[in-house]
Amino acid sequence: MSRAIRSIRPFATFQRPVGGYKPAFEALEHRWVPVFIDNGLPVDTSGHFGLNVLTGGQVLESSNSAELNGVFSAGEDWMFQYEQIVDVGSDGGGVQLQNTNVTEAAFLDTDGSVVSRGTFDGENGVVGWEVRTSFEPGSEVATTSVTLDSDNPLGSIQFISELDTLIGGFDDDPQKILVPIGSPGASNFEAYVLNATDPVGFSQYGVYSDGVELVNASYVGWAADEYPDLILDILGPGTFYTPQGNINTTNLPPFDDPEFGTAYGPEIVTTAFAWSVNPSATTATITTFLEFLPTIPEPEVDVLILEPDFTQACTGETVTFTATALDSAGEAVVGATLNIVVDGANPQSTTVTTNIFGQATFGYVGEEPGFDVITATATEGAGTDTAIVEWLEEPIVSSLSGAVFLDFNGDGVRQPDEPGIANTNVTISGTTFICPFESVSLLTDADGSFAVALPEGIFTINIQSPPAYIAGQAVAGSAGGVAIGSSTIVDISLPAFVDGTGYNFTVLGLQPEFVSKRFFFASTNTDVLPGNIVRPEQTANVDLTGPAVIVPVTTEAPQVDSAPIVTDDFFPSLEEQEEEDPVITPPAIDNEWTAHRQQLDADRYRNLGSDEIDEVLAELEEEEAVTKGTT
């Protein structure tokens, strides 16, 4: 819509305010000119609000004083049109009251209100109307009351109040946003139309429930669109209204506003509120409001409800509360600022703002056990409420311990000469009786042992089996439990003040693929073995090819004071193994080959170097080939 077309509106002589509650326009020789009334605040005071009221309650000019975009504006005209319309039949073709049969043009009544009267043809005959527009002293709200009466039933009539503003003047005309405030259909519902760059503007609303100000009529809803689409629909084919708002989101797209939440625009925003008259009644009264917003008012909260009022939580968890703000009528208060103060074990404070449902949520983490008292207080109004949190903590009074080790004799009990497996991953999970338990992961110490302090509960221990070893068994300890496989113990019921010990996990030796010929022959040396393991005097079975072939090897043992330790360099890495020759794997072994091997002099191989071992192996392979060739 071009500015030129937008700026065309019916002529009205604007009466500039003189200030004070006494209406500036005290006498009218010609009652077809507008009558100016204001709220009594001086023009140079923010919040001054005046209207030039025409017949039928129409307003085409206003006087507004406020700071806008950092500049104080005094007595500015920020109104384009405010119209009172009747739609006989409620099917479109609405008519502005000033365009019906006017019997009394706008005049200043003795009570300070501007009054006009007229008639129009209803479904059952002539319907009379009266419009009164007024201010309360110092108030920023203009009240418009419309009364319809007839000698016959009024029939189907829809009354519509339409608003189109000029916040900031024509230059800023498109820069307006629509913000619905309050609960749709509730007494606190309003439609804000604000300057997009500075929250200054107007609010339109009305009386939605039966009473003195709403008689024999019911609220239908409201609608919003850009100019001139809405007014053309009202005066033409008609439109529909809902309590939630029939908003043309194509012309007024929604967006998230950081202060108001959901808003619409920016555009040349127009709004309209509608009521339906009781068709069988002979009289009806409808009341609407137009409020000037020099600043966004802080809503008053009369009742504040904080939920839950008591809760228990474990330290480290987050508790969340919901505060509901209500006005004196029990309706949700939107945009209320609430101060939240936490006193007690975890003192802190914050500020929250209620949403369109009058609610605000906040949460915090309790680091210390004990009690907190949460107090919520509205910055405007008497609303306040409290809640209590008890922070709990599981007492750490028990423990579980055990080890991961090479079990030479396979009995599951660690002997002094059985080395531990260092850096094995151990995970302890389970449930406790007060607070949720988070699993604990740790690595075994240099001697293969582990220990962890725990609260009372039921636990599971699981190890990540060392990949180079043949798995042994899992052994439950002193606090009980059930071993599953070789790496898990479950159902460990650990009481308070009990140290569960002996939770062991064993391995039986190297996997065959981790045994190289160098390691095998080096293991016959009386010196310290690779990985700083001192071999005790015993017969150890080194499995070269799997369970089919077992070669006995005898070692001599020096004296040791404690169990040997397996460290990271115990075995050659896979890369080292790949550089060496594979373990000798005879394709078949008969009695002659076995006897020949057993007759070899062990001293012949003692203290051999790598090259010499290769020569021995080559000699054995050649002998085997000769033997097989002769059989």
Q: For residue 249, with 0-12 CB atoms within 10 Å meaning exposed, 13-18 middle and 19 or more buried, which class applies?
A: exposed
The DSSP letter of residue 572 is: -
More confident residue, 558 or 302: 302
Mean pLDDT, the chain, rounded, equals 82
Among 1-10, 13-22, 122-131, name the one with the lowest average pLDDT: 13-22
Phi-psi region of 214 (alpha: psi -120 to 50; beta: other; left: phi over 0): beta
Among 57-61, 483-487, 615-619, name the one with the lowest average pLDDT: 615-619
Q: pTM for the complete prediction?
A: 0.54
Domain limits of the chain? 14-293, 303-392, 398-510, 512-630
Three-state DSSP string of 116-146: EEEEEEECCEEEEEEEEEEECCCCCEEEEEE
The pair of three-digit structure tokens given for residue 330, joined into one six-digit string: 């029990």
pLDDT band for position 560 (cuts 50, 70, 90): very low
pLDDT at position 5, please?
41
pLDDT band for position 562 (cuts 50, 70, 90): very low
Q: Which of 82, 61, 194, 210 has its CA nearest to residue 144? A: 82
pLDDT at 451 over 90: yes
pLDDT at position 615, please?
66
More confident residue, 27 or 608: 608
For the segment 30-51, what is each residue's pLDDT rounded down to a tens digit? 345 799 999 999 999 999 999 9
More confident residue, 522 or 408: 408
pLDDT at position 185, please?
87
User: Mean per-residue pLDDT for 442-453?
Assistant: 95
Q: How far apart are CA 376 and CA 462, in angstroms?
A: 47
- Give yes or no for a contact between 129 and 120, defined as CB atoms under 8 angstroms apart: yes
Domain 398-510 has CATH 2.60.40.10: yes
Domain 14-293, architecture per CATH: Distorted Sandwich (2.70)
- What percentage of the chain carries pLDDT values higher than 70? 76
pLDDT at 24 over 70: no
Q: How far apart are CA 631 and CA 627, in angstroms?
A: 6
Q: Which residue has the tokens 């000769």?
A: 626
In CATH terms, are 303-392 and 398-510 the same topology? Answer: yes
Tell me which fold the domain 303-392 belongs to: Immunoglobulin-like (2.60.40)
How far apart, in Å, are the Cα atoms of 610 and each of 351, 529, 570, 585, 607?
Answer: 77, 15, 18, 18, 10
For the segment 288-317, what is each residue's pLDDT rounded down to a tens digit? 999 999 987 777 898 999 999 999 999 989
pLDDT band for position 278 (cuts 50, 70, 90): very high
pLDDT at position 441, please?
95
DSSP string, 338-403: EEEEEEESS-EEEEEE--TTSEEEEEEE--SSEEEEEEEEESSSS-EEEEEEEEE-----EEEEEE
pLDDT at position 616, please?
59
For the segment 426-437, what is each residue's pLDDT rounded down to a tens digit? 999 999 988 888
Phi-psi region of 136 (alpha: psi -120 to 50; beta: other; left: phi over 0): beta
Backbone angles phi, psi at 491, to 5 degrees: 55, 45
pLDDT band for position 628 (cuts 50, 70, 90): low
DSSP string, 328-355: TTSPBPTT-EEEEEEEESS-EEEEEE--
Report helix angle 610-630 to 591-598, nearest 10: 150
pLDDT at position 629, please?
65
Among 166-170, 263-267, 367-371, 529-533, name the one with the lowest average pLDDT: 529-533
User: Mean per-residue pLDDT for 380-405?
Assistant: 92
